Structure 1
Amino acid sequence: MTLPPLNRTTLSRLAPELLPAVDPAELRARIVHFGLGAFHRAHQAVYTENAAAHTGEPWGITAVAPRSSGTVRTLRDQDCLYSLTERRAGGSVCRVVGAVVDALAMGPDAKAVDALLADPEVTVVTLTVTEKGYHRSPLTGGLDTSAASVAADLAARPDGPLTTVVGRLAAGLAARTRAGAPPVSVVSCDNMAGNGTALGRVVRDFVRASAWPDRDEVLDRMAGSVAYPATVVDRIVPAVGEADRMAASAALGVRDALPVAGEPYRQWVLEDSFVAPRPSWERDGALFVPDVTPYQLTKLRLLNGSHSALAHLGLLAGCATIADTMAADWGESVVRALCGEVAPTLPAGGPDPVDYAEDLILRFRNPAMRHLLRQIASDASLKIVERWLPALRELRGRGAGTPVLELALAAWVHGTRPGTTALADPAAEALAACWPVPARPADTVRALLRTVGAADLAGDDALCAAVADRLPALRAGRVEI
């Protein structure tokens, strides 16, 4: 039997426990979100819907897809409804989420996106575009204006088909300030240390590098009307496959073409520096603090750092998922040892590192989760710069040992070899070029570190030798703590 599609008409077929927390028809577009991926739909959208349910305020989201017009069409076909399945060890729980009220494709719908960014009703903009979506220079941390896509956007008309989120956002915020619209808070939800500061910098860099005759005036106005609060987001949201779509449709009794799944745990920590109205996310457990740094570094260096380490080591050992690595005899040891090694670099005021590590092990063990290692290991040249290298610098600067970070780094190094199963990475070609024939392992490690902007670590001969010494065992599939 063919199931009817999920949409507002078929919501009446669903049992009460499967329905959204609010009536989607009562929401308005007051948030613009860049990034139509699974994480946003399983995280910020859920917080927003639950906040609206608690307060009765009509906070709805218009989601903007930077690239995938197909996802936009599919979501629109479902009246922007989709299901979220929480994968629990004792059984999954499914319900429909209705916080997204519209979906746009950034290029084809550029005028509509700009109109929303200038709309006084819109007072929050959020982003989940991954680290590479910010086009930051590995040397300066600012906007890489030499990147082809950034250079093309700078040369284009502001109302034209800009291809980078930074360019579209900068142009939209500039139009908003010119129109005299109220202040707006722009919230990065991507895994970067100081993500608010990083986002504000690349947006300002774009305006500064533009040919707009009023760019100085725009920058002055934006300084007083646009805030960039820092955030920490946490929920494991694995990629969804056909089996997940079939399971969600079976649970609902209607066909959902865009379900998402996640672990039961979720966290959102936000810097309390908003300059405009926002949803009462704290009513759903979000935490507003003066400084997110202790939480941000704990999450980046312990959770994300462990995730990346398990991904690169696990792929070498023949594992497919995080749960597989935890079933290996080395998985839990890697998590505990890495967290213990990195803990001295964390500022006071955040979670206890020992308790945090034990919580991670429980989360990673969840047998209902199938978080693919290849998904986690993608874009590694950007991820390790945030997750491993700052802690590595700090520890080595103190003269402390770094054996677990060296092991993780060696696994990443091995994965860049030409002829290995390629992982998606924007620097893949440059990384492969670091392996001359014949290759001297320590020299290759140095070249790879320079490629990711870590010339200082490349100059650490003892580090490069230690990483190189780990390679033979890893090539044999052995993970030796």
Structure 2
Amino acid sequence: MTRLSYATLGALPAGTGPLVDPGTLRTRIVHLGLGAFHRAHQAVHTEQAEALHGGGWGIAGFSQRGRSVVGQLAPQDGLYSLTLRAPEGPRTRVVGQLTEVRHAVDDAARLRELLASPDVTVVTTTVTEKGYRRAADGSLDTRDPLVAADLAGAPVPATVVGQLAHGLRTRRITSGAPLSVVPCDNMADNGAVVARLVGEYVEASGWADRDALLMWIQDAVAFPSTVVDRIVPATTAADRDAASAVLGVRDESAVIGEPFTQWVLQDTFAADRPRWEDTGALFVPDVAPYQVMKLRLLNGAHTLLSCLGIADGRESVADAMTAPWGEPVLRAYAAEVAGSLPAGLDVEGYVDGLVLRFSNPAMRHLLRQIATDSSQKIPERWLAPLREIRVAGRPGTVLTGALAAWMRHTRDQSLDDPAADRIRAAWTGSGDEPVRGLLAVLGARDLADDDALVTAVRERLSALDADGPNALL
């Protein structure tokens, strides 16, 4: 089958082509972390804004780790299809907003050039929580080998924070044009987090102009916080085959998503941007309430369902929701966490929406995909509300059980987690030692020293071993 490309756009069935002519675009946005989520979320919002208002908002996408996404997209001129899986049936069309597809290390010179260019006014990032390479206290982990190598003067920065710092340094010297850096990862107050990390990198760099650079960043660079939401499962070979059959050309870079999408952005941009507000995005003075609700309810429930579902032999979120314990556990978890959320949010409506989204039989969001890197995710999703609930005098029974479910999951020898070695070491202890050690891995030494909590987690762990997910009800 002929490959999807600019040359084959004219052969696409009616209604399946890009919303705008890719030839009218120029590179105005740089994106770091060219994974499926960005292509199913920010790129789509940008294409919709372009279709409504123009502006030439092309995106240069840079892969941070593997090179397979570049190998898939480059022969297709950056084109790919998005299939939205609705209960009534899938809808597939091609997105053409990517003007360049590159690797951040292999094409470091081009990345530096674009970050300095006054034509580029927005940088977005989706590199996952661990991609920012933070220490347990949230600061830049200067002991991380890649961070240390970047700071020691590696010819090409390998970390996203290093790439941003070097790019901003060049931008100040050349154009001095303002820029907005827009993190789109599931981290609380993600804009402030990335601003802090970039500042710490510059401070640790030893550059002679670091003080001037820090002052310029403060004056000319905005780091808006955001909340992003669309379930984007990992694409399978069957998904690629199905998309290709619809298009009549071969698409090796197809992505899958649910119909629902949300994007909440702090309205603190420093330079020109697409009019995303006309695509359903919400611009607000403070994203924190939305961020906290999404992290603790949606992402937190995802992590819990993955830990319970994998142990129960379930493969996907929808599979977990068909289990007798699925919806009751989700609602019990949400009811407890709701006590830690800001006032004024429609929590009941949000949870009802989660039940519908998670139960969508057309989605195959794999539990093992969700469970990856869980030690990096749990502190914000579970530990923060657990501490707040306990301070308020409530026991946090479901969250205690959630911690037990995660600990039970970490017995899996094929665990995909950056802290896997420390997790395995924690399990070599006896009695309460594994619980205390695993809490320490999560950076929760205060909870590890809480005898009552440790005992409760250990008892819930035993109950899960005996009764499975019903132990949380």
Residue of 18, 21, 26 corresponding to 1:20: 18
What does 1:6-17 align with in structure 2 at a 5 Å threshold? 6-17=4-15
Cα offset for 1:376?
A: 0.3
Cα offset for 1:422?
A: 1.8
* Match of residue 340 from structure 1: 335
The SS at the match of 1:250 is helix
Counterpart of 1:436 in structure 2: which amino acid?
Answer: T
* Match of residue 73 from structure 2: 75
What does 1:29-428 align with in structure 2 at a 5 Å threshold? 29-139=27-137, 141-157=138-154, 160-350=155-345, 352-417=346-411, 420-428=412-420
Alignment of 1:468 with 2:453, yes or no, is: no
Cα offset for 1:476?
A: 4.3
Counterpart of 1:268 in structure 2: which amino acid?
Answer: W
Counterpart of 1:428 in structure 2: which amino acid?
Answer: A
Q: Deviations over 1:233-283 (max 9, x none)?
A: 000000011000100000100000010000000000000000100000011
Asked whether the equivalents of residues 233 and 366 of structure 2 are also in contact (C-alpha less than 8 Å), the reply is: yes
Counterpart of 2:423 in structure 1: which amino acid?
Answer: L
Q: Distance in 1 between matches of 2:438 and 2:391?
A: 20
Cα offset for 1:408?
A: 1.1
Q: Distance in 1 between matches of 2:72 and 2:392?
A: 53
RMSD: 1.1
| Larger displacement relative to structure 2 (212-221 or 173-182) | 173-182
Pick closer, same or farther for the CA change 1:323–1:120 going to 2, 3 Å.
Answer: same
Counterpart of 2:438 in structure 1: which amino acid?
Answer: L
Cα offset for 1:423?
A: 2.2
Cα offset for 1:446?
A: 1.1
Cα offset for 1:196?
A: 0.5
Cα offset for 1:421?
A: 4.1
Counterpart of 1:447 in structure 2: which amino acid?
Answer: G
Q: Distance in 2 between matches of 1:427 and 1:68?
A: 20
Cα offset for 1:177?
A: 1.1
Alignment of 1:456 with 2:446, yes or no, is: yes
TM-score (norm 1): 0.96
Q: Distance in 1 between matches of 2:362 and 2:399?
A: 29
Q: Distance in 2 between matches of 1:196 and 1:226?
A: 11
Counterpart of 1:301 in structure 2: which amino acid?
Answer: R
Identity %: 54
Counterpart of 1:37 in structure 2: which amino acid?
Answer: G
Counterpart of 1:470 in structure 2: which amino acid?
Answer: R
Q: Distance in 1 between matches of 2:460 and 2:310?
A: 16
Asked whether the equivalents of residues 414 and 471 of structure 1 are also in contact (C-alpha less than 8 Å), the reply is: yes
Cα offset for 1:464?
A: 1.1
Residue of 433, 442, 459 corresponding to 2:425: 433
Asked whether the equivalents of residues 62 and 104 of structure 1 are also in contact (C-alpha less than 8 Å), the reply is: yes
Cα offset for 1:443?
A: 2.3
Q: Distance in 2 between matches of 1:421 and 1:10?
A: 46
Cα offset for 1:448?
A: 0.9
Asked whether the equivalents of residues 125 and 185 of structure 2 are also in contact (C-alpha less than 8 Å), the reply is: yes
Counterpart of 1:80 in structure 2: which amino acid?
Answer: G
TM-score (norm 2): 0.98
Pick closer, same or farther for the CA change 1:431–1:421 going to 2, 3 Å.
Answer: closer
The SS at the match of 1:312 is helix
Q: Deviations over 1:204-252 (max 9, x none)?
A: 1001000211111111111101110000000000001100010000010
Q: Distance in 1 between matches of 2:415 and 2:367?
A: 10
Pick closer, same or farther for the CA change 1:277–1:349 going to 2, 3 Å.
Answer: farther
Cα offset for 1:87?
A: 0.4
Q: Distance in 2 between matches of 1:276 and 1:477?
A: 56
The SS at the match of 1:107 is coil
The SS at the match of 1:16 is coil
Asked whether the equivalents of residues 105 and 157 of structure 2 are also in contact (C-alpha less than 8 Å), the reply is: yes
Cα offset for 1:458?
A: 1.1
Q: Deviations over 1:57-97 (max 9, x none)?
A: 11010001012223213211000000000001110000000
Pick closer, same or farther for the CA change 1:249–1:477 going to 2, 3 Å.
Answer: farther
Q: Distance in 2 between matches of 1:92 and 1:75?
A: 22
- Could you list the runs of 5+ residues in structure 1 that have no partner in the other structure? none
Q: Distance in 2 between matches of 1:251 and 1:208?
A: 52
- Could you list the runs of 5+ residues in structure 2 that have no partner in the other structure? none
Asked whether the equivalents of residues 222 and 270 of structure 2 are also in contact (C-alpha less than 8 Å), the reply is: yes
Q: Distance in 2 between matches of 1:184 and 1:443?
A: 49
Q: Distance in 2 between matches of 1:291 and 1:430?
A: 37
Tell me which stretches of 4 or more aligned residues in structure 1 moved more than 4 Å.
none
Cα offset for 1:349?
A: 4.1
Q: Distance in 1 between matches of 2:197 and 2:77?
A: 34
Q: Deviations over 1:415-441 (max 9, x none)?
A: 222xx242211000011101125x21x
Asked whether the equivalents of residues 18 and 96 of structure 1 are also in contact (C-alpha less than 8 Å), the reply is: yes
Pick closer, same or farther for the CA change 1:476–1:318 going to 2, 3 Å.
Answer: farther
Q: Distance in 2 between matches of 1:374 and 1:256?
A: 25
Q: Deviations over 1:374-408 (max 9, x none)?
A: 00000011010111110011011111121111111
The SS at the match of 1:197 is helix
Q: How many residues align?
A: 471
Q: Deviations over 1:295-321 (max 9, x none)?
A: 000000000010000000111111111
Asked whether the equivalents of residues 445 and 467 of structure 1 are also in contact (C-alpha less than 8 Å), the reply is: yes
